[in-house]
Amino acid sequence: MKKIFSELKGFVVFSPQLLAKYLEENHLQGTNILKYFVENEHGDEITQSGIAIPIIGVEEDYYAFRVSVNDEKILNDDEVEVESRGWIFQTANNEVKIVGIGYLKDITSINDENCITFSLENGWYSLKILGGNKNGERLFELNMQKQDMPPAFSGDVTTEYYYG
């Protein structure tokens, strides 16, 4: 299972096509898009619109990611060490990407070596983020619950994901 490093102690889960569209529509120039997440309201808007979800407060290490849909489970209840609910996600182009958040300082540096890509049916999802250990490996499970329309956002961006 492929693992990626928690650059700047975090990750971002995003829909590449929707993020590019948001940046273009809002005339956000340049390759450093991390500044838009931390310096103004665009970060909140991108997150609450389900385009990009930050996973921050992560111990620096390599982590595996898996996507589960609806009732699927990757981590058993006794393997879950941290859980965060209330997130929303939308995808276009049947794709979800995860990358260390530090790579948002220069989005041209994102490549197949430093990110993980999953196929996911287009549409809206409510997202539950689970972190834990599975077979001795640090793992984040992104549980996507398919929705017919945009779900209400109630994710806590201050959640920290430090775990053993």
pLDDT along the chain (164 residues), means of 10: 94 96 93 87 94 95 97 96 97 96 95 96 98 95 97 93 79
Residue of 32, 47, 38 lying closest to 90 (CA atoms): 47
DSSP state of 72: -
pLDDT digits (tens, 9 = 90+) for 140-159: 999 999 999 999 999 998 89
Residue of 7, 140, 2 lying closest to 66 (CA atoms): 140
Determine the length of the chain: 164
Question: Which element (helix H / strand E) includes 86?
Answer: strand 80-91
